[in-house]
């Protein structure tokens, strides 16, 4: 883990020279925006302070660091940039890295292999933040190199510092709330429970390792709540949805709600899945929550604006990004962080009180 070394930021330099940050940036990157004398004066003063500008190459020569962090995303980039949870996580990181003059290099773990390109990418960055790492992805990946600063988020990789939420407890709490309605039949719409790209029901011997998957932790949180209520869910009532997409979630919900023993409660591992499930139920002529209760997980804004609004377990997604960036930069202690979740009760599964 790289030690936290206090370095001058663009803002620090601007304050010392009593000019705007834009003026300092222009002196290094857009000289045509300043008079020659002003630019020469700024560069001279910056050199005296030991500030060599926001240029990554200059900073690399001076410090041995590139000022670039590799953000390894478990899904492809087009999905990650549109997924509301991943998008909020990236936003939180960007706030911290921009303030500290770091750049983010976005990488998809599906595309990164141990070849010349990945070795080049590894040499370009000071380390990696690995988001949503799945157990089957790239066991020999370049972000697992021992000489790199590695932070894992929403995942667990041995010998790395991690930032997570308590997925087991969050799933347990929301399931306990939903079970107060005393449903006779329950189905679970899971997310990435199996190593497959198909929407399907699960088999116990196919499940990922619990310690390596946040989805399996949520699943066991549901199981514990069900057991306390004297209920159980067979594998025939648990669906695997490979990615957090509306189309696949809608398909799984239609299959679940088309069973002879139709569930009265759907435990959904994301808000996106819950929204698709409610839409499927309404299309099939069911009333929510009168005929069917639905709960989600994440707390995305769409869950509140949708009607009926989704009861969910809110996680601090933006804060998760901020914390991961701060730990990477040494602004926070390099130890595992577990953020709290909060039950948000709305129309899809209201309180009985």
Q: What 3-state DSSP class applies to 98? A: helix
pLDDT at 56: 52
Q: How far apart are CA 177 and CA 167, in angstroms?
A: 16
Which of 160 and 135 is assigned the larger pLDDT? 160
Backbone phi, psi, residue 69, to 5° = -115, 135
Looking at residue 3, its pLDDT comes to 43
Confidence at residue 4, expressed as pLDDT on a 0 to 100 scale: 44
Task: Please determine, for residue 2, whether its predicted confidence score (pLDDT) is greater than 50.
Answer: no
Closest CA to 167 of 301, 340, 317, 325: 340
Yes or no: say if 291 and 262 are a contact pair by the CB < 8 Å rule: no
- Classify the C-alpha dihedral 191-87-171-183 as positive or negative: negative
pLDDT at 323: 97
Tell whether the model's pLDDT for residue 231 goes beyond 80: yes
- Does pLDDT of 134 surpass 80? no
pTM of the model: 0.79
pLDDT value for 1: 42
Phi-psi category of residue 230: left, alpha or beta, with phi > 0 → left and psi -120 to 50 → alpha: left
pLDDT of residue 39: 87
The tokens for 260 are: 């002879």
Backbone angles phi, psi at 68, to 5 degrees: -125, 135
SS (H, E, C) 138-207: CCCCHHHCCCCEEEEECCCCCCCEEEEECHHHHHHHHHHHHHHHCCCCEEEEEECCCCCCCCEECCHHHC
Q: Where do the domains of the chain lie, and which CATH numbers do they carry?
A: 10-63 (1.10.260.40), 68-163+318-339 (3.40.50.2300), 167-316 (3.40.50.2300)
Residues 24-33: what's their mean pLDDT? 78
Whether residue 232 contacts residue 226, with contact meaning beta carbons closer than 8 Å, is answered with: yes
The answer to whether residue 145 scores a pLDDT higher than 70 is no
What local confidence, expressed as pLDDT, does residue 148 receive? 74
pLDDT, average across residues 170-196: 95
Nearest to 190 by CA among 267, 83, 259: 267
> What is the pLDDT of the chain when averaged over all its residues?
86
Residue 156 vs residue 105, higher pLDDT: 105
Confidence at residue 78, expressed as pLDDT on a 0 to 100 scale: 86
Q: What is the pLDDT of residues 238-272, one digit of tens each?
A: 999 999 999 999 999 999 999 999 999 999 999 99
What's the half-sphere exposure (Cβ side, CA atoms, 13 Å) at 150?
19
Each residue's pLDDT tens digit, 61-70: 445 567 889 9
User: In the predicted model, is pLDDT for residue 334 greater than 50?
Assistant: yes
Residue 100 confidence (pLDDT) above 80? yes
Regarding beta strands 265-268 and 186-191, do their DSSP bridges make them parallel or antiparallel, or are they unpaired?
Answer: parallel
Q: Is the pLDDT of residue 214 over 50?
A: yes
What pLDDT digit, counting tens, does each position of 271-302 carry?
A: 999 999 999 999 999 999 999 999 999 999 99
Question: Residue 351 half-sphere exposure, CB side, CA atoms within 13 Å?
Answer: 4
């Amino acid at each position: 883990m790289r030690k936290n070394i206090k370095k001058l930021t663009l803002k620090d330099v601007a304050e010392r020279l009593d000019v705007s940050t834009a003026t300092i940036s222009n002196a290094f990157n857009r000289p045509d925006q300043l008079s020659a004398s002003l630019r020469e004066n700024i560069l001279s003063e910056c050199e005296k302070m030991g500030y060599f500008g926001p240029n990554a190459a200059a900073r690399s020569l001076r410090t041995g660091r590139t000022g670039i962090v590799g953000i390894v995303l478990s899904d492809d980039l087009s999905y990650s940039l549109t997924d509301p949870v991943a998008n909020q996580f990236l936003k939180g990181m960007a706030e911290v890295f921009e303030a500290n003059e770091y750049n983010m290099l976005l990488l998809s773990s599906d595309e990164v292999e141990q070849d010349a390109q990945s070795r080049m990418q590894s040499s370009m960055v000071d380390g990696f933040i690995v988001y949503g790492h799945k157990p089957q992805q790239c066991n020999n990946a370049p972000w697992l190199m021992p000489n790199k600063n590695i932070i894992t988020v929403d995942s667990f990789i041995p010998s790395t510092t991690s930032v997570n939420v308590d997925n087991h407890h969050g799933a347990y709490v929301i399931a306990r709330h939903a079970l107060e309605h005393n449903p006779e039949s329950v189905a679970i719409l899971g997310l990435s429970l199996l190593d497959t790209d198909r929407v399907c029901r699960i088999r116990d011997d196919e499940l990922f390792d619990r310690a390596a998957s946040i989805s399996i932790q949520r699943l066991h949180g549901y199981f514990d709540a069900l057991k306390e209520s004297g209920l159980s869910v067979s594998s025939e009532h648990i669906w695997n949805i490979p990615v957090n997409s509306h189309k696949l979630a809608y398909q799984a919900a239609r299959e679940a709600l088309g069973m002879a023993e139709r569930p009265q409660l759907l435990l959904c591992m994301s808000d996106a899945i819950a929204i698709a499930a409610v839409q499927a139920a309404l299309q099939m002529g069911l009333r929510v929550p009168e005929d069917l209760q639905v709960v989600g997980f994440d707390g995305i804004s769409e869950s509140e604006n949708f009607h009926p609004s989704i009861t969910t377990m809110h996680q601090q997604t933006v804060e998760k990004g901020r914390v991961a960036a701060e730990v990477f930069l040494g602004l926070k202690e390099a130890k595992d962080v577990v953020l709290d979740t909060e039950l948000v009760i709305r129309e899809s599964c209201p309180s009985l009180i």
